[in-house]
Structure 1
Amino acid sequence: MLSDRQITSRRLLLVAAGMSLLGIAGCRGPAEGGGGGAAEGAEAAGPPGPGAVPGSADPSPPAEPSPSPSPSAAPSPTAAPSVPPPVARALTAAETRPVYELDAERRVVALTIDDGPDPRHTPTVLALLEQYGIRATFFLIGENAVEHPGLVREIAARGHHIANHTWSHPDLRSLSESKVREELERTSDLLHRSTGKVPTWFRAPGGDWSSTSLKVSADLGMRPMAWSVDPRDWARPGTGVITDRILKDVRPGAIVLNHDGGGDRSQTVAALKTYLPVLIDSGYRFTAPPG
């Protein structure tokens, strides 16, 4: 029979052995998980997957954590590139002089429309030009263009030429060079922002050219365009008078002046409806002068 002392000694040995086994199991747990770090291994511990050998170590070495990029290595934000302003094209000496007509050997007419855009008349003029498949040149006033940007974009979208007719329609002969430059440059900048196209033609209000305005327009890369047929429609002489003057004076290579802004242009619109089909039936084709 065992004594009390022997029984106590055996119990102590059994407790010590159990503690040793628990310690061994605790040390083997993370190694069997195969994780990269202690926290990751403890969270991922679970039953071995299919084909895994219980108690075996992962043959691949644990992945090392990627170093965090230092602040200096982080890419710095890059500002969006600014769009450079358009470069004015250089004109020849001949291109700096006003153009009054096109090639007289061809049966073509250039239709030019001044003083718009105007919400009352410009849409009707655009509809007429589309009906007859005519491409025209619109000499726009900056003050009107800034008030009706949608019309400016529509004129350009329909394939017509956008041209510069100054900002406020002044008599350029009485202005200094700096004022003339402001009138033309401000208008060109606006039309470029509105349509993405740089105006390449300029017309002085009233056809009142000056050496200063011709110099400034050349500096801005714009050729001056005058006209050869003026029905004086701006004076509202009557639809019949406007029509008769145009049909009487038109000839191959003519540049015709009409207006869609600056006042009541209903007579001009009515005259367009009358004389455009007559010229087309007479064999004329309409063109916009090249830039």
Structure 2
Amino acid sequence: MKKDEMLIGRRAVLRLAAALGATATVGVLAADRFAAPEAPTAPRGAPGAGHADPAAGPQAQAARLRPSAYRLQPMTAYAPPAFRRALPPVRRRPFLSMSGVGRSMVLTFDDGPDPRYTPGILETLREYDCRAMFFVCGEMAVDNQDLLREMDADGHVVGNHTWSHPLVPKLRPSRIRDELGSTSEVIERALGTAPLWYRAPYGAWNRISFEIGAELGMEPLAWTVDTLDWTEPGTGTIVRRVLDGAAPGVVVLSHDAGGNRSQSVAALRRYLPRLLDAGYHITVPRR
């Protein structure tokens, strides 16, 4: 155990375990507090890196909330938890991997939901009775709330991936709060519960984003294996990257939106049964 993790103390570790709802199978996700945050994989305008989609429709901008609106006032039929400053310690690094019993892995999909590709991923996961994590963008989620509800009904974890997929360290604190808060609002309205996990676009985090994420009750999750599927390298290449990177505790990054994700859909159908045949348990942190 690293020195700074030891300083957290037994009580903080127990609080974290309770917050994660971790089971013996899932274990507790481990944060690498010494490694630098993941560097951006591509600029917003790079081929395959786009995340706005005409399918999102004009409601996306109209539904966006002011930063002060989320969790400051009672919503439809109940009063949500108060928005407050996070109590220390606030994380300085995202979780990168999962520690636990057995050969467990986590599959994650970013940027959706997209009605062209997300249903195919959900169908494959349903066929093999596996759960995954979907980090959604608010501008996509607001017009595809039926897919959010389908994810939730199937037992998947819906996480926050900001509203418009910006480069977070370049934003003012108020804009970061707006990006995260507005997306959490859409998820909470669709599912009845706010997300417990968030992921910074491009893996680009900063201190303010950790603090605001904690204020909204979310833990930061990065990844261990990047399929780079947004570059559309070919289905076989995506499959090979997942299988070559497979190991206990690995968190795999893929995408179900932001471009043509037909290769990602096809790759999942090929590598998922092979992971299961190899004895891996595909799981998620329990809510």
Equivalent residues in 2 for 1:1-291, closer than 5 Å: 82-87=77-82, 93=89, 97-103=93-99, 106-291=102-287
Query: Looking at CA atoms only, which structure, 1 or 2, has the larger radius of gyration?
Result: 1
Q: Secondary structure at the match of 1:101?
A: strand
Q: Please give the alpha-carbon distance, in whole angstroms, between the structure 2 residues aligned to 1:131 and 1:215.
A: 38
Deviation at residue 88 of structure 1 after TM alignment: 6.2
| Residue aligning to 1:43 | none
Deviation at residue 150 of structure 1 after TM alignment: 1.1
Q: Deviations over 1:111-157 (max 9, x none)?
A: 11111000001111001000011111110000000111111111111
Amino acid at match of 1:98: P
Q: Please give the alpha-carbon distance, in whole angstroms, between the structure 1 residues aligned to 2:184 and 2:158.
A: 10
Deviation at residue 212 of structure 1 after TM alignment: 1.3
Q: Deviations over 1:215-245 (max 9, x none)?
A: 1101111100000010100110111111111
Contact 2:90 2:214 in 1 (8 A): no
Deviation at residue 93 of structure 1 after TM alignment: 2.7
Amino acid at match of 2:80: P
- Larger RCO of the pair (alpha carbons < 8 Å, separation 6+): 2
| Structure 2 unmatched runs, 5+ | 1-75
Q: Please give the alpha-carbon distance, in whole angstroms, between the structure 2 residues aligned to 1:104 and 1:222.
A: 21
Contact 1:137 1:160 in 2 (8 A): yes
Provide the alpha-carbon RMSD of the alignment: 1.8
Q: Which moved more, 1:115-124 or 1:84-93?
A: 84-93
TM-score (norm: length of structure 1): 0.69
| Residue aligning to 1:26 | none
Which portions of structure 1, spanning 4 or more consecutive aligned residues, are displaced by more than 2 angstroms?
Answer: 86-97
TM-score (norm: length of structure 2): 0.70
Identity of aligned residues (%): 48
Q: Secondary structure at the match of 1:147?
A: coil
- Change in Cα spacing, 1:91 to 1:154, as seen in structure 2 (3 Å) is farther
Q: Please give the alpha-carbon distance, in whole angstroms, between the structure 2 residues aligned to 1:205 and 1:149.
A: 21
What is the aligned residue count? 211
Amino acid at match of 1:270: A
